Amino acid sequence: MRTLAAAVVAVWLAQPLSAADWPRFQGPNGDGTSPETGLLREWPKDGPRAVWRAKIKQGWGCPVVAGDDVYLGWTEEVRGEQEAIVCLDAKTGAERWRHGYEVGPYWKRNIGWAAGGYRSTPCVAGKYVYGLGAVGHLVCLDRATGKVVWGQNLWDEWNPSGEKGYSFSPVVEDGRLILWYSDGAWPVPPKGKEKAEKKHFVLCRALDPDTGKLIWEFKEPHLPSARMGEGQTPAVAAFGGEKCVVVCGNCDVKAIRVADGKQVWKYASVRPDGRGTTIPTPLVLRDHIVNIPDSDVSHVLRVNRDKPDEPAAVVWKKDLDTYTAVHQFRHRDGYLYGFAGTLRGDSEKAAGDSVLSYACIELTTGKVMWTKRGFKSGNSHIEADGLLFVRSYQTLRLIAATPTGYSLKGEVHTHDVWQTPRSLTDIVMPVLSRGRLYVRTPDELICYQVAAQ
């Protein structure tokens, strides 16, 4: 009995105190944080233990984890003629199944930075996994087998607004598969009318997750003064007690009701000649919304979400010198942690040569508590248990989420691949589930053990 009891205690101590799936873009809370606890507070000199490494193909989408399964999308080769959704064993990295499909060369659809590959993150809901490819191939697959339940090509009806193709990630909420096409999508013209004037729209759609049939559509004309934008994945939050997706479109922060697609709240927070939609998901923190717009400056709004008819206000607006932001701030105990500086995306090399700072900012005042320079060439991060897992230039760092100063708790070199734009795979945020951290490199998915033992 003593031997059995000791074994049970040993197994219990080897597990994180709490564990969670990471089923969609930005994790279980949709904000880049995880509720997991019991994580290593410091790493050994050589970094956390690598449990396994699996060979993969190129992509800029994050893996997602549900139970013992890891799902991710990739492009089979640089021309982008075939994509795949793949399921790996979370314990070993072994491939369980792969669903591949032909898409035709990316260059025929004017997909910029094509060598970066597949660029959205799958979403797991119930018994299905949903994936969206760079040229609009939306598929619903059986989680257990990888067999196609239904599929459609969004590009048959709508062209994305920019050169990045389809780069937002699908979200499932309350029986709705939400697709935020972003600001500036335009309908595919009928045959014979290809030269007709393009009419651009802010577009959001909800499909039946089981069949792919359209449930509702939110559409409004694109604001002519604003620049177009693409790639934002919506946040989810309640306004007036009704669940909504929160997006940035037509220079507004908007709340669109999940049940029927009606707009229930908006606030014009971006200057009229700014970009209608930018990449980072709005960060909703009770009555504060953090927005990082392109062609404008970072700001925090205050809104009474219980009474969204009451006037909203800008709490603070601060120029953090962010030219092209990729990831939203992460929040912990009233403070925001994230990247500040100029990440220029005019070319792959320019983005790869950029050097940013990591910063801590007080949520309610915008006061910068501390900054640390030296985060280069692709950046991403998540937060859990008061710890920040931060990627930059082939390096993974563990940083304490504290406003008192920059506190490095460990780091590890993850890979050596340097080939633009594959080197920018560091923009793929790490993913945490059941005490294991998954890091995507250009040719491997690495699983690190980060739970205390």
Print the domain residue range for 411. 2-449
For the segment 373-385, the average pLDDT, to the nearest whole number, is: 91
Kindly state the percentage of the chain with pLDDT values over 70. 92
CA distance 312 to 363: 16
- Tell me how many degrees the CA angle 60-344-399 measures, rounded to the nearest 5: 65
1 pLDDT more than 60: no
Better-predicted residue by pLDDT, 416 or 192 = 416
420 pLDDT more than 70: no
188 pLDDT more than 80: yes
Range from 12-26, 27-41, 230-244, 247-261 carrying the lowest mean pLDDT: 12-26
pLDDT, tens digit, 9 for 90 and up, residues 294-303: 878 899 999 9
- Tell me how many degrees the CA angle 333-388-338 measures, rounded to the nearest 5: 75
- CATH value at residue 327: 2.140.10.10
pLDDT value for 346: 65
Query: What one-character DSSP code corresponds to residue 426?
Result: G
For the segment 218-227, the average pLDDT, to the nearest whole number, is: 92
Phi, psi of 154 (to 5 degrees): -60, -30
Domain total in the chain: 1
pLDDT value for 422: 67
What is the side-by-side order of every strand in the sheet holding 242-249?
Answer: 235-239, 242-249, 252-257, 263-268
Phi, psi of 8 (to 5 degrees): -65, -45
For the segment 307-315, the average pLDDT, to the nearest whole number, is: 93
CA distance 15 to 24: 23
Please identify which residue in the block is written with the tokens 């960060």: 283
First to last CA, the chain: 23
For the segment 86-93, the average pLDDT, to the nearest whole number, is: 98
- Among residues 32, 20, 30, 23, the alpha carbon closest in space to that of 380 is found at 32
pTM: 0.93
- Among residues 133, 105, 107, 137, the alpha carbon closest in space to that of 119 is found at 133
Better-predicted residue by pLDDT, 340 or 148 = 148
Would you say 138 and 208 are in contact if contact means Cβ atoms under 8 Å apart? Answer: no
Query: What one-character DSSP code corresponds to residue 118?
Result: B
pLDDT value for 415: 93
